Amino acid sequence: MDFLQIIRQIIISAPAILIAIVFHELAHGWVANKLGDPTAKLEGRLTLNPLSHIDPFGTIIMPFLLLILTSGQWVFGYAKPVPVNPYNFKNPRLGMALCAAGGPAANLIVAIFCTIITKWILLPLMGIIPYFIFDPLILVLKSTIMINIVLAAFNLIPVPPLDGGRILTGLLPLKYSELMERIEPYGSLIVILLIVTGLTRLFVLPLVKFFYSLLSLF
């Protein structure tokens, strides 16, 4: 990938990544607040301002490195985790599961919204909107759909501290839930090993295909 291609891909991917991670983290905090935990609200995380959610490595450095190393085929990022205090919930285990589910759910909603804009608003205006406006908009929307779908699918991998692991921890019987909690300190290492070995694709790709099939309904 040459320099101009890298710049072009950054221009297309950067807004999509920011949208995906901001709505993902905002949703965690919003669900927590609705369930009785105001921690995220008190720390100023219930906002669409990207500066409140950006993690220097996960939001900027890692996506940029992935962009270069994979020639734009795999771009991924993350934001600062939203603080949640489960002891503010009436049912801490269920509350954490619902908070965890909020992130991927928000990404799917964003993907659906962008699909509707693309299919029902922009495409019918093809030839009417000038190409120098139409083409970049389509590329950014398609990138936003793809990144939100991939982020949702990846976060649903059932290994804590990913959202899928937290959902599973909250829904399993207590003895199995405690086992998941014991795994969590090693969860990040497990996820890295899954990525390095390519095993994440066994879970993520089928889920991505399923989510895209859902988008075809809109």
Q: Which of 25, 178, 181, 184 is catalytic?
A: 25
Long-range contacts of 112-117 (CB under 8 A, 24+ apart): 112/214, 112/215, 112/218, 114/141, 114/144, 114/145, 114/148, 115/145, 115/215, 115/218, 116/218, 117/141
Pairwise CA distance, residues 210 & 201, whole Å: 14
SS (H, E, C) 128-172: CECHHHHHHHHHHHHHHHHHHHHHHHHHCCCCCCCHHHHHHHHHC
In angstroms and rounded to an integer, the radius of gyration of the C-alpha atoms of the chain is 18
Tokens of 171: 């829904």
Q: Is residue 178 annotated as a catalytic residue, yes or no?
A: no
In 3D, which of 83, 80, 100, 79 has the Cα closest to residue 177? 100
Residues labelled catalytic = 25
